[in-house]
Structure 1
Amino acid sequence: MFKLLYFILFLTSVRGEFELNILHYNDFHARFEETSLSGGLCDKTSEEPCIGGFARLATAVREAMNREQDSILLNGGDSFQGTIWYNILRWNVTQDFMNMLPHDAHVLGNHEFDNGIEGAVPYIKALNSTVVTANMIADDEPTIQGIYKPSTIVERNGKKIGIIGVIISSTDVR
Structure 2
Amino acid sequence: MKRRNFIQQTAATGAFIGLGGLSLSFSENTKKHITILHTNDVHSHIEPLGPNDPRNPNMGGVARRATLVEQIRAENPNTLLLDAGDIFQGTPYFNFYGGELEFKLMSKLKYDAATLGNHDFDNGLNGLLSQMPHAEFDFISSNYDFSNTILDGQTSPFKIFKKDGVKIGVFGVGVELKGLVNESLYKETEYLDPVEIATEMTRILKQEQNCDLVICLSHLGYEYKNESKISDVLLANQTKDIDLIIGGHTHTFLNKPTILQNLEGKKVLVNQVGCYGLYLGRIDFYLDNGNKVDSSGVSIGV
Task: Output the TM-score relative to the length of structure 1.
Answer: 0.79
Q: Tell me which of 170, 188, 212 is aligned to 1:163.
A: 170
Give 5+ residue unaligned stretches, structure 2. Answer: 1-26, 188-302
Identity among equivalent positions (%) equals 32
For each residue in 1:64-112, what CA deviation from the matched residue of structure 2 results, as whole angstroms up to 9, or x when unmatched? 1111110111011111011011111111211211111111111111111
Report what 2:151 is aligned to.
144
Is the 1:91–1:122 Cα contact (8 Å) retained in structure 2? no
- The CA RMSD measured in Å over matched residues stands at 2.3
- Once the two structures are superposed, the pairs formed by residues 61-72 of structure 1 within 5 Å of their partners are 61-72=69-80
Report what 1:28 is aligned to.
42
Residue 19, structure 1, aligned to residue 61, structure 2: no
For each residue in 1:28-75, what CA deviation from the matched residue of structure 2 results, as whole angstroms up to 9, or x when unmatched? 11110111xxxxxx138x9x7311111111111111111111011101
Report what 2:97 is aligned to.
89
Shift of 1:123: 2.5
Equivalent residue letter for 2:79: S
Is the 2:125–2:151 Cα contact (8 Å) retained in structure 1? yes
Give 5+ residue unaligned stretches, structure 1. Answer: 1-12, 36-41
- Match of 1:128, SS? coil
Whole-Å separation in 1 of the counterparts to 2:33 and 2:143: 28
Is the 2:98–2:131 Cα contact (8 Å) retained in structure 1? no
Q: Tell me which of 126, 138, 141 is aligned to 1:133.
A: 141
Shift of 1:130: 1.0
Equivalent residue letter for 1:117: L
Shift of 1:17: 7.6
Residue 43, structure 1, aligned to residue 57, structure 2: no
Task: Output the TM-score relative to the length of structure 2.
Answer: 0.47
Equivalent residue letter for 1:103: Y
Is the 1:112–1:119 Cα contact (8 Å) retained in structure 2? no
Whole-Å separation in 2 of the counterparts to 1:34 and 1:159: 35
Whole-Å separation in 2 of the counterparts to 1:146 and 1:93: 23
Shift of 1:125: 3.3
Is the 1:130–1:149 Cα contact (8 Å) retained in structure 2? yes
Whole-Å separation in 2 of the counterparts to 1:124 and 1:167: 18
Whole-Å separation in 1 of the counterparts to 2:65 and 2:43: 13
For each residue in 1:97-136, what CA deviation from the matched residue of structure 2 results, as whole angstroms up to 9, or x when unmatched? 1111111111111111011101111223331111100001
For each residue in 1:7-26, what CA deviation from the matched residue of structure 2 results, as whole angstroms up to 9, or x when unmatched? xxxxxx88x98432100001
Query: Residues 18 and 123 of structure 1: is their aligned pair in 2 closer, same or farther, counting only changes over 3 Å?
Result: same
